[in-house]
Amino acid sequence: MPTIAQLAALEILDSRGRPTVQATCMLAGGAAATASVPSGASTGAAEALELRDGDHTRYGGLGCRRAVAHINHDLNNALAGRAFATQGELDAAMVALDGTPNKARLGANAILAVSLAFARATAAGRGVPLYQHFADLLGVPLATLPRPTINLFSGGKHAGGQIPIQDVLVVPAAARTMDEALATTYACFQAAAQLTARKYSMRVLTADEGGLAPPFANAQAMLDDAVTAIREAGFVPGREVALAIDVASSHFYQDGRYHLDGRSLDSRGMIDTILDWLDRYPIVSVEDGLAEDDWAHWPELAAAIGGRALVLGDDLLCTNPARIRRARAMGAATALLLKVNQIGTLSEAAEAYRLARAAGWRVTISARSGETEDNWLADLAVGWAGDQIKVGSITQSERLAKYNRLLAIEAETSLPLVRSEKRERKGRSNAIKPLWSLL
Ligand code: PGA
Ligand code: ZN
């Protein structure tokens, strides 16, 4: 049974240069590991609390010294010397020590850093790769690698608000390996970069998650350009490469209306706009098509588009078991965007995952816009058999750390990319299946 010998923490900087938390967990017996937590910008209102110092003379108030001190003192004092048979026991102990509903006292950033460092140290102690340890935590066998969904264009809070839609992502739908998926995406990204230079006379400047962010006239222009880039890269849009979008509509929803491209839409108007996009573009996944507060209309959205694309909840669900139960009961979504730091412990994220699977939903394992060079997310996406992984663009080392880890896991395990395995078994490996069947 792993016994914590010592916990220690450090304030480090994330990909936006903002402070975040790194924890080290040393176990009795010598195994030790370090893990770092990411941070969002387009955050859901129901997320667990990321504790910031609030001292405006330092990092604009974003310092994490208090969260770090909570690991070095409160958590270390309470947990060092104690044995934890399972990840769940440790996480429950930290939730109890915190004592608030949203981890506001110790900070979800402090608690998650310890949760992850303990998992990694325990995996090291067992002598198994982290992805295997994550699979064992859930009690699922290793089966597939997740299909990457990769940012081509960025808007919303990640790109200075120049266009409301936050992400247009490419889905290398016909790729049969991770290696092929990344090579396909690279070709699309390069074509998009050339298009951006040609059409907008812009150098390749990228947003928080590495997506290109030219001044699109409107959402439709953003989607048109994505389809053009796929075609110019030599792929058939909708057959070989599809699109996913993160509408992140909570951020342009005010007083019950969606303020999009100079129009003010009610919920039905927003649903009709998404339906129009589905008619025109090869979109297979729609994240946060409606706002996190617009619960009443999500079932209508799911009924309208659910047969054609994933109805993916990010801000709506916040990886929060209670919100997932509510969405499931209402028929409000068909897929969970899983971000571990929205809830703050691995065990609670695992509960969110189980609930989503029990509802028959797809699961996309997601990074945040503020990331670190840590690559645990790739192991999590493989261990928990995510259908998709969403890490951002195929640029910037904090994103590539995850893609490179996926390549290493692929080389080590020879696991098939999700769904390609079924096609192989049916002897149709050369046939390109209709898009929707891949998700
Ligand atoms: P965030 O954005 O990490 O800034 O919350 C990611 C997303 O909305 O999917
Ligand atoms: Zn989102």
For 216-295, where are the alpha helices, taking DSSP H only?
A: 219-232, 267-280
Q: Which helix (H) or strand (E) holds 193?
A: helix 178-200
Q: What 8-state DSSP symbol labels residue 145?
A: B
CA separation (Å) from 393 to 167, 219, 254, 268, 301? 10, 19, 29, 32, 28
Single-letter code of the amino acid located at 323: R
Q: What residue spans define the domains of the chain?
A: 4-127, 147-413
CA of 160 to the centre of ligand 2 (A): 16
- Confidence class of residue 420 from pLDDT cuts 50, 70 and 90? low
Q: Is 339 a catalytic residue?
A: yes
CA of 199 to the centre of ligand 1 (A): 28
CB under 8 Å to 188, separation ≥6 — which residues? 152, 170, 229, 230, 233, 235, 241
User: 56, 60, 61, 5: which is closest to 33 by C-alpha?
Assistant: 5
> How many Cα atoms are found within 13 Å in the side-chain-facing hemisphere of 200?
18
CA-nearest residue for atom 8, ligand 1, is 42
CB under 8 Å to 399, separation ≥6 — which residues? 209, 210, 367, 371, 391, 392, 393
- Confidence class of residue 46 from pLDDT cuts 50, 70 and 90? very high
Average pLDDT value for the chain: 94
What is the C-alpha separation between 149 and 344, in angstroms, rounded? Answer: 24
Q: Is 157 a catalytic residue?
A: no
Fold exhibited by the domain 4-127: Enolase-like; domain 1 (3.30.390)
User: 382, 402, 406: which is closest to 391 by C-alpha?
Assistant: 402
Q: Is the beta carbon of 285 within 6 A of some atom in ligand 1?
A: no
Mean pLDDT of 289-307: 97
CA of 294 to the centre of ligand 1 (A): 18
Cα four-point dihedral sign 388, 389, 390, 394: negative
CA of 164 to the centre of ligand 2 (A): 12
What is the C-alpha separation between 111 and 107, in angstroms, rounded? Answer: 6
User: 171, 268, 266, 156: which is closest to 216 by C-alpha?
Assistant: 156
Mean pLDDT of 213-222: 95
358 CA to centre of own chain: 20
181 pLDDT above the threshold of 80: yes
Q: Is the beta carbon of 398 within 6 A of some atom in ligand 1?
A: no
pLDDT in tens, 145-159: 999 999 999 998 888
Q: Is the beta carbon of 42 within 6 A of some atom in ligand 1?
A: yes
423 pLDDT above the threshold of 90: no
pTM of the model: 0.95
Q: 164 and 261 in contact (C-beta within 8 Å)?
A: yes
Residues bordering ligand 2, an ion, CB closer than 5 Å = 246, 314
Residue of 47, 240, 339, 398 marked catalytic = 339
Ligand in closest contact with the CA of 40: 1
Q: Which atom of ligand 1 is nearest to the CA of 287?
A: 9
pLDDT in tens, 356-378: 999 999 999 999 999 999 999 99
Grouping H, G, I as helix, E, B as strand and the rest as coil, residue 69 is helix
425 pLDDT above the threshold of 50: no
Reported CATH class of domain 147-413: alpha beta
